[in-house]
Every structure is written in C-alpha cells, then in structure tokens.
Structure 1
Amino acid sequence: MIGETLNNRYRVIEQLGQGGMGSVYRALDIALNQKVAIKVLPYQFSVSPENEKRFEREFLALTNLSHPNIVKVFEYGKSGSIIFFVMEYLHGHDLRNIMKTKPKKPEDFIALLKVFMQACLALSYMHSQGIIHRDLKPQNIFIQKDGDLKVMDFGLAKLQGSSVNLTQDGAVLGTAIYMSPEQASGKPSDERSDIYSLGVILYNALCGIPPFSGNNPMEILKKHLFENPQIPTYHNPFIPQSLVTALAKAMEKDPEDRFQSAKEFSHDLQMIMRILIEKQKRNENYVSIVVNSLKKLLKRR
C-alpha cells in the first residue's frame, strides 16, 4: 500500500491506524495537492461481496451526515483489488491525549466539558438522522488543533429501528471497555447506548482510568452488566458533585434511567460549565482584590 497511487490520484504515504473493518492511511490528493485520509477494506474482507456492501454502506452513511463535528467523506473507489473511501485529513490527536492528566482546576473541567458538549452535538445530529454509532471510544473522537471535535469510524454503526447493520452482523459489537449493558447482553441498542458509552469515556477522562477493567473482554462486559463503578471522586476528589450526578445518570444500567437524548446530556453539561465559569470568575476577582490590596499596603510603606 505505502507508495501506491490509487485511481491515479491518491498517493498513499503512511498508515495512521488499523481497526476491525479497515486500515486508515494518510495520502496526498495529487489533483488538489492536499492531504487526505483513506480507509481501506482489508483484503480478507474485500473478497466477500457482502463485506464490500457493508463497507460501502459505511461510506454512504457518512455522506448523509453533514455536521461540523463529524468527519467528512469525499469519494468511494476501487483501484485494482483495493476498495477504499477518501475522508478529510484531521490535524490534531484523538481523545486519549487529553485523558492523560486528571482535571483539577475549574478551567480544566471547563475545557473538558467543552469537548464533551461537542461530542453531544455530534451524537444529537447523527441520532436525528437515525444512525447509532455503537463504537464510541477515545480513539474515535478526534480533537483538532483548533479545538474542534470530530467523531469518526462508523464501522459498527446501525440504522435506528432497523435490523440492518451498516457494517457487521452479530449480537455483541463494540469495544468492551466502553460498551453499554444492552450491547454487552446482545439486546437492541439505541441512541441511549451511545450516551452510556460517552459517559464511560467522560468517566475515564475525569478519573484517569475507565470504570471497569478485567483480564479479558467478557470479564469487563459482565461488570458493565452487574457492577457499579467506583464513585468518581474516589479517583479524583476535585470533580464537582454536579458532574458526578450527571455522570451517574449517563451510565445508568437501565436505558430508561439515563439521559434520553444527547441534547439532554449536553444541557446538563452546559449548566455545570456555567457554574464552573462563574466560580472561576469569582476566584479571579478574589485574587485581583487581594493583589490590589497588597499593592496599596506596599505603597503606604
């Protein structure tokens, strides 16, 4: 792949990542002289007409999602035995980069909430289009250098209210660490499944570790089904109680007890952020008053 030119237009430069339903490469669009990302269907899947159809459905799903917080796709193509589609190239890093340090100060939480509110916007839009992501995880949420967020990799997406998967068939789909209880048990998933997964990601970002871990995926899935996570403040005592409450609601075992929409989740996060901004302003005003008072005292002396 590296060094090849697909359809006499896209020169493949390097591999960026690899997943179950495709590998992603950085390439140069020779016609436009710009960087693009190319997702390639693995050869072992491309020999199956059904897998090719699923891969094409992922592309078609993305073409119908026009939103600033969802990755854009440009073209679907075949070059010899290689089946691929072309996406925008994103400059920045995935969410794992900002999860390395636990937030402590109000400004840390404000910055984190801004990221997750963008994720809620993306979810709200895709859900309004009838698409459930089903594989939300830090690797699939990209933060660009300008701070804008992009949700990507719809390889396990599903049309809501439909028995037809956009890509793979099977009862249990997703990544165990971030999977909702209903997905873990093979039950039908809906938009609240994505909300649970986003809640797990937020827990991870706040606490520095995911809520559940284990020696194998099945052990983790059982914990999602039957165990409650450690209270977030046990791992990070600086987390505001209002955020702990919102997080608990997002991660309820029963979908009926969760936020019923990404918009509802976003509304709570926005309220928490406003409270933190006001707190930050009060702290800054207090520091300013103290500094000015000290300056006056020094002048008198």
Structure 2
Amino acid sequence: MAGNVDLSSEYEMREQIGKGAFGAAFLVLHKETRKQYVLKRVRLAKQTNWQRNSTLQERDMVSKLQHPYIVPHVTSWITQGHTVNVVYGYCEKGDLATLMAKNNGTPFPEATLKLWLCQMLLALEYLQVQKVLHRDIKTGNIFLTAAGDVQLGDFGLATYRETEGDRPEDMNLVGTPHYMSPELLSQKGCSFKSDTWSLGCALYELTAQRPAFNAFNIHGLVTKIRRHRMAPLPPGYSAEWGGLVAL
C-alpha cells in the first residue's frame, strides 16, 4: 500500500542496480522476512512540475495495479517531503533486453516466446480494463522471474485513458522511438493499440535478436516504421509464429 510512514529502516540495502536522472534503484532485503525487493528512489526537488506530477501519478497508479504479469507494488512512502520511495517485487532474472545481450545471439525457444506473448497480452488486457496506457513497452521494461514468467514494469510514462477520444497529452511523442506505432508518429495520438504495437516490436526483437526497425537516423527510422519495413525473421521458427510476429 502507499503511505507516508518512512519504512526505510525495515530494509537493508544490498546494491544499486539502476540509476536515472532523478533517482536510482536498489536491491534491498526486508529485514524481517529476509525476502529481496527492488527499492526505487526518485528525488522530486529538481524535477519540473510535469515530471513531479508524473512521478507521483506513477506511485499512485502502481499501488492500484494487481496482476500476475505486472511487477508487483509492495509499499511506498515519501521521505523529507521530496524523495519518493517505491518498493517493487524483485524479478531475479532481470529484464529481457539485458538477457538478450547476455545470451549473445542465442535464440529463445518458440515455446518460451509464445508463453511470454500470452502473459504480456493478459497484462495488456488488464491494463485496458483499468484504463491505463503504459506508453513505453519494450524489452527493457519486461522482466523475468525465477519461475520463468514475464512481468511488465516501469510505469514512469504511463497515463490514464478514459476513452478513445483525442486528448492533448495523447498527442505527445513519449516512449522509445524503436517501439513507437505509426499512428503515434503520424501525430494521431496514443491509444491502447499503440501499446499492442510496441509489444509486437518487442516480440519481433526477442525472436530476431535485433530491433524490428532500425536506421542510421530518426528520419530513416520513422520512415521504416510508417512503411512497415523490417527484415525477415531468421530461420528456425514456424511459419505460424512468423506470421504472428510480423507487424
């Protein structure tokens, strides 16, 4: 649950596992249960009003999301009025982008990719019911548990979406360029379909071990995405899977 009681003393710092412009992520150990979690700390002091509101919205949003394929929120608090602390479940095998790099080109089994796709589609279905747009689905934001299940995380760019009508904030280009949908790049706005497109790009990348769309500059990248220009998938996968992953 989200609260304002400082729970820092309940956790033992193990190591820093990530760092951003306004904060960092730490692997921590709960002193009583001896269970590992991830503590994300974000400083509000130097953020713009938009960034501050986004950080506080993320804290509130993740506290309400409960799904087996979304990284679980454990608790949160604000210290000294300017540092947001959020404790998340720990995915022992890290994110899929890092896992791909460690595998050094070794392909994932088709059965594994199908399992991950089903799990992510269930997560997206749940988010749509909750009226939540993730807006930054990519391999680096999909995490793998010790049991081999995937969980969607990092809701820093997420927003609520009540209807499919246009809103000013939906027209903003937010997210990671390689995963942006043609509609978003054409300034038609962000929708639940945009999240599905981004997931498709992630699955292509996991299959081919390379981005679905790549170019030397942003103009070339946008052109390829709009025209759906991507390289064929490597051999070794079924025609059924190839047809499913093709965007």
Q: Pick closer, same or farther for the CA change 1:227–1:92 going to 2, 3 Å.
A: closer
Q: Which amino acid aligns with 1:136?
A: I
Alignment-mate amino acid for residue 37 of structure 1: V
Secondary structure of 2:17 counterpart: strand
Q: TM-score, normalised by structure 2?
A: 0.82
1:202 CA drift (Å): 1.2
Q: Residues of 1 paired with 2:95 and 2:138: CA distance?
A: 10
SS of equivalent residue, structure 2 residue 94: strand
Deviation for aligned residue 1:245: 2.0
Report the residue type matching 2:36 in the other structure: K
CA contact (8 A) 1:45 1:51 kept: no
Question: Which amino acid is 2:172 matched to?
Answer: A
Residue identity matched to 1:101: T
Asked if the contact 1:69–1:119 (Cα under 8 Å) also holds between the matched residues in 2, the reply is yes
The CA distance in 1 between the partners of 2:89 and 2:182, in whole Å, is 33
How far residue 170 of structure 1 moved from its aligned partner, in angstroms, is 7.3
Alignment check: 8 A CA contact 2:54 2:157 kept: no
AA at the equivalent of 2:222: L
Aligned to 1:119: 120
In structure 1, what is the equivalent of residue 3 of structure 2? none
Confirm whether residue 238 of structure 1 aligns to residue 236 of structure 2. yes
Kindly report which structure 2 residues correspond to 1:243-258, keeping only aligned pairs within 5 A, or say none.
243-248=241-246, 251=247
Match for 1:175: what amino acid? T
Counterpart Cα distance in 2 of 1:149 and 1:186: 31
Tell me the distance in 2 between the aligned counterparts of 1:88 and 1:52.
23
Partner of 1:229: 230
Task: From the superposition, tell whether residues 120 and 16 of structure 1 become closer, same or farther in structure 2 (CA, over 3 Å).
Answer: same
3-state SS in 1 of match to 2:9 = coil
Unaligned runs of 5+ in 1: 252-301
Task: Give the deviation of 1:218 after TM superposition.
Answer: 4.5
Residue 98 (structure 2) pairs with residue 102 (structure 1)? no
1:31 & 1:238 partners in 2: Cα distance?
Answer: 48
Partner of 2:18: 17
Regions of 4+ moved over 6 Å: none
Q: Quick one: which amino acid aligns to residue 241 of structure 1?
A: A
Shift of 1:18: 3.3
Deviation at 1:132, TM superposition (A): 1.3
In the alignment, what sits opposite 1:54? 54
CA RMSD, 1 decimal: 2.6
- The 1:92–1:227 alpha-carbon spacing in structure 2 relative to 1, beyond 3 Å, is closer
Rounded to whole Å, the distance in 2 between the matches of 1:61 and 1:43 is 17
- 1:13 and 1:25 in contact (8 A); partners too: yes
Check whether the contact 2:171–2:184 (CA below 8 A) recurs between aligned residues: no
Could you say which residue in structure 2 is the equivalent of 1:187? Answer: 188
The residue type equivalent to 1:240 in the other structure is: S
The number of residue pairs the alignment matches comes to 234
Shift of 1:67: 0.6
Change (3 A) 1:131 1:228: same
Is the alpha carbon distance of 1:27 and 1:161 closer, same or farther for their aligned partners in structure 2, counting shifts above 3 Å?
same
Match of 1:68 in 2: 68
- Structure 1 residues 214 and 63: CA distance shift in structure 2, 3 A: same
Aligned-pair CA distance for 1:164: 8.0
Which 5+ residue runs of structure 2 have no aligned equivalent?
1-5
Map residues 216-295 of structure 1 onto 2, 5 A cutoff: 216-232=217-233, 236-248=234-246, 251=247
SS in structure 2 at match of 1:41: strand
Task: Tell me the residue number matched to 2:130.
Answer: 129
- Which structure has the highest helix share of the two? 1
Residues 1:150 and 1:216: Cα distance change in structure 2 (over 3 Å): same
Closer, same or farther: CA 216–39 of 1 in aligned 2, 3 Å: farther
* Alpha-carbon distance in structure 2 between the residues aligned to 1:227 and 1:137: 18
**Range that drifts further, 177-186 or 125-134:** 177-186
Name the TM-score, length of structure 1 as normaliser: 0.69
SS at match of 2:127: helix
- Describe the superposition over 1:245-296 as per-residue Cα deviations: whole angstroms up to 9, x where unpaired: 2223xx2xxxxxxxxxxxxxxxxxxxxxxxxxxxxxxxxxxxxxxxxxxxxx
User: 1:21, 1:155 within 8 Å by CA — same for their partners in 2?
Assistant: no
- 1:144, CA displacement in angstroms? 1.0
